[in-house]
Amino acid sequence: MSIDRFSKSDAARLLTQYQAALYRYVFTCVRNHADAEDILQDVSMIVVKRIRRLESEQQFFAWAKEIAFRQILAFSRKSKRLKSLNPHVVAALAESAGRVEKSEPTSQRTEALQECLKRLPPLSQELIKSRYDGSVKKVSDIAIQYESEVGAIYAKLNRIKQILRDCISRRLSSEGSQ
């Protein structure tokens, strides 16, 4: 694709494709889900606005990561919590996240996780969502919500996570043998 052929729909498609990886990259640097989501939203707006500057689709992730890096630095300058965050530290964290990203085929793993989550019973899906979507901060709050003991919720979450690990392993090994 040439430079002038990238459109906003291309930006949306590529952002969707790389959203999880970009989120992990940003979260690695800011360590706060709400801040990471805010930064990722800013990154998405910039990507859509500047998509015509992209030279090739293969360069999208590196290009978007550079935009994210600059947004993280801008955020750290504005944020009181991150005032002491040194740009070199952000760069080191970003580089580290990049190494992890390269060492793990995350898109296959993410797809496998999504499929495995769909196979869980509805109550298990709700528990996982409650625990990991950021809306509930403490397991004790989940226990109150489900009228259960904290220990029982931890045990149920551990069983669900083991089921998910086993399911993901099976899916990845079956994909690898094909």
Q: What is the pLDDT of residues 128-173, one digit of tens each?
A: 888 877 666 688 888 998 899 999 998 999 899 899 989 988 988 8
Instruction: Examine the domain organization and report whether 115 and 166 are in the same domain.
Output: yes
Instruction: Examine the domain organization and report whether 93 and 117 are in the same domain.
Output: no
Q: What range does the domain containing 164 cover?
A: 106-176
Q: Indicate yes or no: pTM above 0.85.
A: no
Predicted pLDDT of residue 84: 52
Instruction: Examine the domain organization and report whether 77 and 141 are in the same domain.
Output: no
What is the CATH classification number for the domain harbouring 161? 1.10.10.10
pLDDT at residue 98 greater than cutoff 70: no
Instruction: Examine the domain organization and report whether 89 and 18 are in the same domain.
Output: yes
Give the residue ranges of DSSP H helices in 79-149.
87-103, 106-119, 122-132, 139-145
Predicted pLDDT of residue 149: 93
Instruction: Examine the domain organization and report whether 78 and 57 are in the same domain.
Output: yes
Going by C-alpha positions, the residue among 167, 56, 52, 57 that lies closest to residue 115 is 167
